[in-house]
Structure 1
C-alpha cells in the first residue's frame, strides 16, 4: 500500500461479500487501500485474500433483513476498526417465476433482502458516514431500470433500490455523504448460471452473445473497479452507474 492509494486509511463494509460480485468489490476496495468488513450470510470467506493484499479484514455474519442483526454487524465493524467510510449494499436474493407462480414467501424474501436490507444497512451506518463524509454504494441491477418477465419481484426490489438511492443522495448531500447505485449487467455469478439461464432454453453464453453489444459478460472485477470509482468521486451522487457491456443501449 502506498500513500497514493485513494482509500488509504478508510474502512469499507461490503454485504454479500462471499458472492462473486461482493468479493470482487471487496478485493478492489482493498487494492485501493481500504480495510474491509466482510458481511456475509453463510458464504465463502474471502478475508485471507484481503489480508494478502496488505489490508485488514474482518468477517461478520449478518442477516440484512433483520434490524437487530444489522445493528450488531455495524457495532462490530465500529468496534473492530473505529470508523466507517464506505458502505456497499450488495447482499441480494432472487427466485424465478411468473407473477401467478410466485407465492408470498418468494415476494417477501426477495424484497426483504434486496430492498429492506439496503434500507436497514444504510440507516444503521449513516450516523457514522456523516462523521467521515463517506459514501453508500447500492448494488442494484439493470433490472432496476427495465422490465423483464418471470422475476417481477426482483425487478420491483431493484427499482426500489434505485429510488432509495436517489432520495438518500438528496437527503444526505448537506452532510457531504454521496449515495449511488451500481447496476451490473450479466455477471457469471450463481444468480445467473444457476437460477436465470437454467430456467430458459438458452445457455449463459448464448444469452451473452444475444443481448450484450460488446459480446462478453461482465466480471466481478468490473464491478470492483466501478465501486472504487464511486467511492472516490466526491461530486458524483444520486447516479445509476450501469456496467453492462452496452445492454441498455441495445434495448428498443
Structure 2
C-alpha cells in the first residue's frame, strides 16, 4: 500500500509565483506544510530597476509575508526567467542553498497574447512558446536530479491544452505541449518514483482574462462566465492550489491532467 505523502517540512518551487494562480498554489502548499520558493521574473530589487521586466516585487514580497504570517512555513523569493537554462539551474541551486532539499516543482509561469494566426508575429509565437513550454522543459530538467526518490512535478496547463478558441493558437499550442510533456515525463520518471501531473484551469479572474481575453472577445467577463460555465461561477486560484496539494500528497497519481473549469469542457466535448 502506497501511503499519502506528509508535506510537513517539504520544499516546493513555484514559478510564476507573483501571479494570481501561482499565489494560490503557493498559499495552499504552504498551508499543507511546504516551505516555498517563490520564483518569478522581476521579483528582486535589482530586477525592479530593469524596465524590460514586469515589476512583480511588491506581489512577491506581500505573498512571502502572508505565507510566513499565516502558516508555519518559510517563503523565500528567487528571481528566475524560466526561458533561461542558466537561471533555472540557479533557481534549483538557490533552493538547495536555502533549504537543502527540493521535493516539489510547480511549473506555473505562463503568458498569453491574442492574435489570429494570419496576423500573428513570429516573435509573439516564440515568446509564448518559450515561457509556457520551454520553461516547463528547462525547469524540469534542472530539478529532476533533486526530485528522484519521491518528488513531484506539477505543471499548470490549461483547458486550452484540450480545446482552443480563435486568436490563441500559439497559447493553445504551448499548453498542448505542456500536456505532452506531462505525460512523457510521467513515463520517464516513474522508475525514480517521481509523479508528474498537470492542472488545467478554466476561467480564473486574472490579468490574462481581464487584460487580454475579455477585451479581445468584447464580452464582459461576467457574461462570459454565465455563457460558458455550467456551474455559473469562475474558478479561483486557491482551487488550483488545492489540486496541487492533492498531486503532491498522492503517490499513485501520475501522468494526469485534471481540469478545474466548472464543467466548461464537459459542456463542449
Give the TM-score normalised by the residue count of structure 1: 0.96
Residue 34 of structure 2 corresponds to residue 16 of structure 1:
no
> Separation in 1 of the partners of 2:248 and 2:72?
19
Q: Which residue of 2 aligns with 1:66?
A: 84
Displacement after TM superposition at 1:6 (Å): 3.2
Which runs of 5 or more residues in structure 1 are unaligned?
none
Residue 138 in 1 paired to residue 165 in 2? no
Q: In structure 2, what is the equivalent of residue 77 of structure 1? A: 95
Query: For 1:167-213, what per-residue CA distance to the aligned partner results, in whole angstroms no more than 9, with x for missing partners?
Result: 00000001110000100000001111111111112111110100100
Q: Hey, what does 2:115 align to over in structure 1? A: 97
**C-alpha RMSD over aligned residues:** 1.2
Q: Contact 1:5–1:33 at 8 Å: present in 2 too?
A: no
Moved >4 Å (runs of 4+) = none
Aligned counterparts of 2:23 and 2:15: Cα–Cα separation in 1: 9
The alpha carbon displacement at 1:73 in A equals 1.0
Alignment check: 8 A CA contact 2:64 2:77 kept = yes
Q: Is the 8 A contact 1:134 1:176 kept in 2?
A: yes
- TM-score using structure 2 length: 0.90
- CA apart distance, 1:69: 1.0
Q: Is the CA contact (8 Å cut-off) linking 1:5 and 1:32 kept in structure 2?
A: no
Among 246, 265, 268, the residue aligned to 1:229: 246
Deviation, structure 1 residue 41: 1.2
The separation in 2 between residues aligned to 1:147 and 1:92, in whole angstroms, is: 16
- Partner of 1:182, secondary structure, is strand
SS of alignment partner, residue 148 of structure 2: helix
* Distance in 2, Cα, partners of 1:135 & 1:73: 17
Mapping 1:1-252, distance limit 5 Å: 6-42=6-42, 43=56, 44-45=59-60, 46-52=63-69, 53-131=71-149, 133-252=150-269
Deviation at 1:147, TM superposition (A): 2.2
- Give the direction of change, closer, same or farther, for the CA distance of 1:5–1:116 in structure 2 (3 Å limit): closer
Task: Tell me if structure 2 keeps the 8 A contact 1:9–1:33.
Answer: yes
- Counterpart-to-counterpart distance in 2, 1:18 and 1:49: 13
Q: Distance in 1 between matches of 2:174 and 2:209?
A: 17
The runs of 5 or more residues in structure 2 that have no matched partner are 43-55
Residue 5 of structure 1: CA displacement?
9.4
Q: Please give the alpha-carbon distance, in whole angstroms, between the structure 2 residues aligned to 1:172 and 1:219.
A: 30
CA distance in 2, matches of 1:165, 1:173: 12
- Give the count of matched residue pairs: 248
What CA distance in whole angstroms lies between the structure 2 residues aligned with 1:185 and 1:196?
Answer: 13
Distance 1:216 1:229 in 2: 22
The residue matched to 2:105 in structure 1 has which SS?
Answer: strand
**1:22-41 deviation line (CA, Å, top 9, x unaligned):** 00000000000000000011
